[in-house]
Amino acid sequence: MIERLQRIATFLYQFRLFIIALGIVSLGVCAVSLFQNPWIDGEVWLIPGVLSLSWSLALYSVIALFQQVPEKADKSEGWRIRISNSIRRGVLWLVALSLVLLTGALFILSYQLLRVWAMG
């Protein structure tokens, strides 16, 4: 699973600047929507701003966390290297599992918020 996330992270690395720009623009839209502003009527763009900010943060965290995954250690290496490598890979597995759960929750949140936004 962490090798697959590494491939996804290397693909998304090409779009790193776009993801960062999307996050900054989304944060700006959220900030402008929260205050009384003559440019935007009420809180119309708050939900899309929050969703795009959440997705850009999730995508950037994939890029940042899984860009370099340590290789599996073979038996010819020393025990310190094998244990260190196993611990780092184990921590990355836990991070990957929580990222998958976060992505699932983000899909559900996106569906619910877009449904509310479309009705309003």
Q: What is the pLDDT of residues 14-48, one digit of tens each?
A: 999 999 999 999 999 888 888 877 777 767 888 99
DSSP string spanning 2-56? Answer: HHHHHHHHHHHGGGHHHHHHHHHHHHHHHHHHHS--TTS-TTTTHHHHHHHHHHH
pLDDT, tens digit, for every residue of 56-94?
999 999 999 998 888 877 777 778 888 888 898 899 999
Q: Measure the CA–CA gap between 28 and 97, rounded to whole angstroms.
A: 31
What's residue 21's pLDDT? 97
pTM: 0.85
The number of residues in the chain equals 120
